[in-house]
């Protein structure tokens, strides 16, 4: 027997007594207040945020009798902060899933176990005039709620992330009034809100009260329509009043406080519409977000004047010749997906939080944001208008859990749900359609396909024909103006780019999954998307890690993710997938993305003449005046430093520039590199003067250093050798080396009486699993047993010469039950001066048929004296780099402590590599050891073992070791994006191949590092 729908399960109901959606604006008494755009200065505005009383029950039916009554006792109830989510405040259960609904799928019904929060607040109301009304606005409530005032049911609403407004005038009295809001965690709307995020409930956005005149402006709509040359624009204005009592408005258009136009607007039957030609306005785009102020003035029947200001931008968005164009020009999206997320408050974010995000996006060259996967707070779009970001505004709609049922289109193609789908689209568009930053509406995310999306598309076009509409689930772009895909691999993406004739433009609404250590391979995506005109960019998934902040017993901050609250089923740390950490610290992934999407590209033309080519990849902006800071360095020595200002370079143009440097002088040095930094010449909205837009560096090839061998006079005594069954000891007054004759390993190496090497080197094929290895790790661990690398001894031999001893150890290395492996030859040369030189050769052995296509790495690990904790290296830095994430890290001389070489990912994993390194040094006070590489290798050095890193599940839980662990890589595989995206590309994969590692370790004078690094002494 089918059970009866409860109100919060009724798909035929979109709301009760909720007022129609409209654009956001505020009314002011004076122009001075209007200019501030501060709603707290507006007429009749009261913010109801703060402490409310709260009662939590396990189901709506368990609400106490009479809870809605005006005199229901609330004094003994808990306090709760509004806005907030009740799970964050300790009520109910924290639960994270990516795809799964947290209950049985039986639409539109939800479980009887439906956590419910009842909110109470006293509201003081002064005497209302006959022509005044009180409007109560909820900006975000998850997932549905009933509103009561003084015991009377005012209304009901759902759709968590769009506003709901109610006229409460007839329900209030002068003096104290009781507001009661009963919020349901689950409703039929929950089936449409299965986004990848924490399941958080409650009044999580601000609650506002407006005392308005009953005749006031109800809605205003602004469109800007270009002429054929995109020079002059028609300003089209429409709107309506709540009544027909206002007969006219007066409008003034300002640009930077300069009056541009003013005109009267006639109002008939409460409605108005007018068009004005504006000649050659300053146009809005993400690079030059020119905003105008459109100010309306009108008189109410009571004689009072109201002023309504709007920020508008003259901007068109069209598809022309199969290209997305803004103001007639093709644009390219370098975007991110962004959730509302804060480590302490969950989905409740403040103005300051949003501003911080937007400023950071601009600072890191991001020009677009997709409001994944729901409309943001209205102020977010105000900030995007002001700071300049293209926005895809996305409806609060995702039905991802249906994918696992075998019927992804279960409700998306069910006409009974059509009203619900359309309601979500229309309310979003009606609120946000005056924002120039919004260039595209999104019908939602990961919800299958079907007739309801067609209905949404048609409903949007009926009320806003000026913007594009996209939906990634529309595989044939039937109800999308663009062809959108996500996580498309490079090869099929190129096919899309080639197959352009007569086809809609393409964007990647998600790619480059920024989970943990990654994403890698972004350069190849950028190059491909820039190559084919049909491909117009994409949006990285995603902006921020969704970790929840907590502290350990030592007071150290770390972040919780799915499963940490006992939530099941859960997708674990899949919510830790952002370019910034929860506290907005940039990850290496964001630093790399900034470089990959750089708007100014530099190419070498002829460095011997100081000539470079500068390309302007902006779509609109002339980069004239940008400061180019030039440094010429040899290792750490600054040879020359200059600054110039760029000449006029229009968008998509390039010029050759001769750098004002003395190349002949530079050529007298070794390994000279030219470092270029493009910087803002003046303060901007988002950054201070001197902010670095991008950087580049070049090696002056004529100065490239080839390391040689220098013979150094021996100062050590003769060798003493003990060759016993278990050990081979070689020593003099400068060093002591102990080898195992049983295992064929260097067990210890002392220099001048101090142990420097505790163990190693030993071949490793393993790295701590990164999130992007998640689909390989099972084979790596359980099929190829790559964690269980074992070396089998062949023989240990040695030969003594006058100045050195050569110890040659042959081995075979493989893993458990594998037929493939490597024949190894370790050739150690130790000089009388205590120099240790290592030459390791590996010859591949391919037998059998089960051979891994990719190895995590081929390298060697050593345990070193932990007192030597200062690291200096000449390679890429100063942040970490991997072979597919190294563009942002120029080669140079860098210095850190071992502790600082760790990248503190929320979920601990392989980290801290430095690519393309020529040498490194470890120091303790005035004592320093050089580790000089024959070729450029990658290395990591940490104060913990790989096993400890893998055992730790949170920051601060990594067990420290009593020594430093140095890994020198012949090759380490890149990081890719395969937690949800492209695997490591073939060029970045480590495969079974012959290899050779050569390096020398010797003690040096503290200040002689660079000179000492230019040569070897043993061979």
Which residues are identified as catalytic? 446, 510
C-alpha span between 85 and 201 (Å, rounded): 5
Phi, psi of 881, rounded to the nearest 5 degrees: -155, 145
- Distance (Å, whole) CA 348 – CA 445: 21
Cα separation of 638 and 670, whole Å? 12
| Residue 232 burial (CB count, 10 A) | 15
Tokens encoding 184? 């349901």
- The closest of 387, 170, 354 to 287, measured between CA atoms, is 387
Largest CA distance in the chain: 109
The neighbouring-strand residues paired with 307 are: 28, 297
Element housing 358 (H / E) = helix 351-363
CA atoms within 13 A on the CB side of 736: 11
Which helix (H) or strand (E) segment holds residue 178: the answer is strand 175-184
The span from the CA of 119 to the CA of 43, in Å, is 27
Tokens of 403: 């994918």
- Angle (CA) 984 783 490, round 5°: 20
Helix H segments across 468-620? 490-498, 522-531, 588-596
**b (16+ CB within 10 A) / e for 702-722:** eeebebeeeebeeebeebeee
- In this structure, the number of other CB atoms found within 10 A of the CB of residue 614 comes to 23
Please state at what angle helix 522-531 crosses helix 588-596, rounded to 10 degrees.
20
Instruction: Determine the distance from the C-alpha atom of residue 841 to the mean position of all C-alpha atoms in its chain, rounded to a whole number.
Output: 41
- Strand partners of residue 262: 252
Contact 140, 161 (CB under 8 A): yes
Dihedrals phi, psi of 359, to nearest 5 degrees: -60, -40
Query: Can the peptide bond before residue 80 be classed as cis, meaning omega within 30 degrees of 0?
Result: no
Strand segments (E) across 352-458:
368-370, 390-394, 438-442
The pair of three-digit structure tokens given for residue 244, joined into one six-digit string = 């027909």
* Residue 286 near residue 367 (C-beta atoms within 8 A): yes
CA distance 644 to 614: 13
d(CA 740, CA 722): 12
Which residues, in sequence order, are CB contacts of 367 under 8 Å at separation 6+?
286, 287, 333, 334, 335, 388, 389, 390
DSSP code, position 113: -
d(CA 559, CA 231): 51
Instruction: Identify the helix (H) or strand (E) that includes residue 309.
Output: strand 305-312
What H or E segment, with its residue span, contains residue 429? helix 418-432
CA distance 627 to 623: 9
Backbone angles phi, psi at 764, to 5 degrees: -130, 140
Tokens standing for residue 451: 């007739």
């Amino acid at each position: 027997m089918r059970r009866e729908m409860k109100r919060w399960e009724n798909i035929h109901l979109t709301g009760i007594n909720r007022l129609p959606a409209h654009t956001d604006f505020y009314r002011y008494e004076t122009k001075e207040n209007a200019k501030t755009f501060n709603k707290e200065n507006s007429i009749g505005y009261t913010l109801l945020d703060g402490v409310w009383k709260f009662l939590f029950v396990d189901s709506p039916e368990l609400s106490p009798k009479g809870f809605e009554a005006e005199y229901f006792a609330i004094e003994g109830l808990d306090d709760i902060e509004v806005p907030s989510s009740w799970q964050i405040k300790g009520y109910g259960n924290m639960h994270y899933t990516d795809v799964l609904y947290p209950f049985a799928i039986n639409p539109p019904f939800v479980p009887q176990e439906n956590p419910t929060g009842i909110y109470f607040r006293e509201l003081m109301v002064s005497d209302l005039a006959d022509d005044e009304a009180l409007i109560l606005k909820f900006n975000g409530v998850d997932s549905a709620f009933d509103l009561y005032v003084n015991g009377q049911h005012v209304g009901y609403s759902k759709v968590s992330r769009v506003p709901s407004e109610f006229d409460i005038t007839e329900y209030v009295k002068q003096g104290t009034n009781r507001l009661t809001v009963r919020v349901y965690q689950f409703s039929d709307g929950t089936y449409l809100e299965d986004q990848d995020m924490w399941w958080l409930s409650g009044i999580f956005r601000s609650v506002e009260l407006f005392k308005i005149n009953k005749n006031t402006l109800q809605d205003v709509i602004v469109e800007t329509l270009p002429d054929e040359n995109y020079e002059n624009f028609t300003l089209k204005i429409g709107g309506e009043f709540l009544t027909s009592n206002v007969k006219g408005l007066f409008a003034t258009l300002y640009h930077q406080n300069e009056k541009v136009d003013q005109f009267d607007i006639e109002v008939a039957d409460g409605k108005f519409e007018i068009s004005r030609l504006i000649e050659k306005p300053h146009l809005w785009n993400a690079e030059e977000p020119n905003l105008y102020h459109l100010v309306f003035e009108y008189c109410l029947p009571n004689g009072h004047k109201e002023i309504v200001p709007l920020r508008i931008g003259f901007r068109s968005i069209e598809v022309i010749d199969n290209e997305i164009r803004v103001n007639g020009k093709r644009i390219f999206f370098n975007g991110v997906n962004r959730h509302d997320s804060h480590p302490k408050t969950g989905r409740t974010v403040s103005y300051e939080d949003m501003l911080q995000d937007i400023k950071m996006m601009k600072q890191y060259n991001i020009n677009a944001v997709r409001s994944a996967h729901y409309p943001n707070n209205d102020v977010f779009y105000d900030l995007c208008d002001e700071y300049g970001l293209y926005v895809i505004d996305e409806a609060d709609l995702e039905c991802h859990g249906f994918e696992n049922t075998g019927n992804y289109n279960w409700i998306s193609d069910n006409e009974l749900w059509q009203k619900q789908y359309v309601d979500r689209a229309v309310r979003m568009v009606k609120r946000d359609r005056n924002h120039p930053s919004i260039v595209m509406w999104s019908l939602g995310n990961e919800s299958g396909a079907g007739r309801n999306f067609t209905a949404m598309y048609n409903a949007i076009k009926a009320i806003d024909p000026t913007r594009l509409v996209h939906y990634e689930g529309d595989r044939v772009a039937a109800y999308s103006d663009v062809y959108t895909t996500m996580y498309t691999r490079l090869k099929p993406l190129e096919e899309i780019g080639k197959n352009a004739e007569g086809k809609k433009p393409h964007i990647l609404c998600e790619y480059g999954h920024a989970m943990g250590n990654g994403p890698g391979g972004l350069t190849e995506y950028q190059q491909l998307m820039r190559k084919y005109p049909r491909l117009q960019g994409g949006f990285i998934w995603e902006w921020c890690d969704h970790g929840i902040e907590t502290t350990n017993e030592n007071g150290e901050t770390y972040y919780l993710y799915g499963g940490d609250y006992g939530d099941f089923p859960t997708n674990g740390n899949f919510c830790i997938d952002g370019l910034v950490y929860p506290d907005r610290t940039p990850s290496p992934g964001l630093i790399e993305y900034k470089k990959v999407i750089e708007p100014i590209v530099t190419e070498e033309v002829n460095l011997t003449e100081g000539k470079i080519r500068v390309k302007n990849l902006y779509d609109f902006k002339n980069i004239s005046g940008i400061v180019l800071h030039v440094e010429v360095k040899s290792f750490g020595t600054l040879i020359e430093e200059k600054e110039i200002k760029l000449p006029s370079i229009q968008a998509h143009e390039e010029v050759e520039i001769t750098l004002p440097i003395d190349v002949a002088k530079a050529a007298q040095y070794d390994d000279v590199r030219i470092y270029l930094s493009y910087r803002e010449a003046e303060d901007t909205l988002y950054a201070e003067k001197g902010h670095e837009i991008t950087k580049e560096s070049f090696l002056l090839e004529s100065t490239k250093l080839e390391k040689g061998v220098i013979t150094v006079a021996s100062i050590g005594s003769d060798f003493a050798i003990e060759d016993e069954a278990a050990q081979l000891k070689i020593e003099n007054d400068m060093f002591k080396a102990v080898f195992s004759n049983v295992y064929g390993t260097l067990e210890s190496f002392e220099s001048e009486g101090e142990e420097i090497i505790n163990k190693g080197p030993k071949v490793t094929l393993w790295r701590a699993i990164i999130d992007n290895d998640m689909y390989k790790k099972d084979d790596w661990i359980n099929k190829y047993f790559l964690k269980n690398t074992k070396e089998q001894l062949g023989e240990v031999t040695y030969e003594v010469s006058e100045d050195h001893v050569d110890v040659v150890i042959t081995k075979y290395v493989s893993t458990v039950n594998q037929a493939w492996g490597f024949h190894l030859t370790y050739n150690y040369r130790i000089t009388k001066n205590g120099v240790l030189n290592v030459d390791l050769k590996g010859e591949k052995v391919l037998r059998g048929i089960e051979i891994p296509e990719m190895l995590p790495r081929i390298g060697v690990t050593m345990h070193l004296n932990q007192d030597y904790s200062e690291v200096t290296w000449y390679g890429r830095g100063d942040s970490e780099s991997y072979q597919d994430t190294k563009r942002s890290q120029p080669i140079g001389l860098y210095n850190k402590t071992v502790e600082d070489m760790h990248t503190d990912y929320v979920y601990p994993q392989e980290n801290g590599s430095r690519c393309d390194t020529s040498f490194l040094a470890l120091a303790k006070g005035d004592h320093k050891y050089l580790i000089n590489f024959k070729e450029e290798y990658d290395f990591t050095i940490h104060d913990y073992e790989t096993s400890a890193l893998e055992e730790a599940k949170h920051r601060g839980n990594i067990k420290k070791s009593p020594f430093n662990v140095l890994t020198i890589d012949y090759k380490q595989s890149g990081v890719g994006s395969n937690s949800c995206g492209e695997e490591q590309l073939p060029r970045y994969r480590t495969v079974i191949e012959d290899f050779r590692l050569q390096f020398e370790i010797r003690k040096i004078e503290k200040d002689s590092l660079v000179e000492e690094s230019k040569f070897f002494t043993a061979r």
